[in-house]
Amino acid sequence: MINSNLKTSLLSLTAIALLSGCGTAINLTKYSPTTMEKAPNMPSTKKMMSDELPKVIIMDIDNNGINVAKQAKIGSAIASKINTLLAESKGAKVVKRVTKTSYNKMLSKEVAAAQLSKELGTDVGQADNIITGQLSTASYDHSFREGYYYTIKTKRGNVKKYQPPMMSYKSCVVGNLKIFTLPSLDEAASFEYDECSRKSTEVRSSTDVVKRNDGLVRSAALEGADTVSYALKNFFSKKGYIYEAKLKGDDKIIKTTLGAKHGAKDGKNVEIYAVEDTTNTLTGVTSKETTLIGTGTISNQVTPGSSWIIVDEVQAGKKINAGDFIKIKYEEGFFSKAGKWLK
């Protein structure tokens, strides 16, 4: 049962979650155009208007010789989940799924293709990233609890009740997910997960035990994939370049190239970035650095190829220029968190 305090918290947070989508409706006719300076590091028109997505190869996660993982085919299950997550976010194009047996042959071909693409300066169908990973542990355990009698008070007096014996099962999966860049095979990102799934059933005695439950093990593995899904989506979140701005008093909205076909949706939170020149005071070498300069929310004004963003905050000393860009910020939703609390 959920205690009263938790019920109150859940109701309050539910109300907040339902109301948080409000305030994104805007009327463009109420806003006046304003001029924007061009960003110092202005991207090319081709780059800003490109619909190209990074091409990704997903390799089955290495079960690391763990028998429980091999039986439940965890590596394949996590890879399938990643495939689905990337399709939902529209941030990357999965070009193929690869098993361990064909990995080395595939890798040599993709590295060669990526190197050729770099030399020619054109797309030859090469992949840009490889996603893989490895399990550290995968377990499946059970525990038995004897039946017992207990008493409850009623208006008619005390009533004796019986709680039957219970068998509880628990599966935990620990591992990582890694993203590599082609052709260099540099590690671009690494995400860790450590999740468990549980199940309890009434039994007659301690001998009534299910010694293997692949479904419960896979459930724990998929919980792990969900844990890293937001970091994964953020890594591949497509850039939307800023090219127009309007004002209504102190309220500012900006138009970007991120449209519905790229995952833009009313109410989604975004981060605003600028590419700035940074000089190393020790070496005197100047390099380009991507800097977070503000945050915003996608309004209800979304087309397949564009979206208007409500600017929520701009960092002190920073300003938004044409050529700066936004990326959707994926975060775990309230109901996902609530589901974990109630498990």
CATH 2.40.10.410 in the chain is located at 23-50+238-334
As beta bridge partners, residue 175 has 135, 193
Let me know how long the chain is.
343
b/e map 3-16, b = 16+ CB within 10 Å: eeeeeeeeeeeeee
- Could you report the per-residue pLDDT of 239-259, keeping only the tens digit for each? 999 999 999 999 999 999 999
- Position 121 pLDDT exceeds 70: no
CATH 3.30.160 in the chain is located at 55-237
Q: Return d(Cα 169, Cα 155) in angstroms, integer.
A: 37
- Position 336 pLDDT exceeds 80: no
Find out if CATH 3.30.160 is the number for domain 55-237. Answer: yes
In CATH terms, the superfamily for domain 23-50+238-334 is FlgT, C-terminal domain (2.40.10.410)
pTM of the entire structure? 0.77
- Could you report the per-residue pLDDT of 93-113, keeping only the tens digit for each? 888 766 665 656 666 666 666
What distances in angstroms separate CA 201 from CA 141, 164, 168, 169, 196, one per listed residue? Answer: 14, 10, 7, 9, 17
- Position 214 pLDDT exceeds 80: yes
Contacts of residue 211, defined as CB under 8 A and 6 or more positions apart, other chains included, come to: none
Contacts of residue 155, defined as CB under 8 A and 6 or more positions apart, other chains included, come to: none
- Position 158 pLDDT exceeds 60: yes
Instruction: Report whether 86 contacts 54 (CB < 8 A).
Output: no
Q: Return d(Cα 328, Cα 332) in angstroms, integer.
A: 13
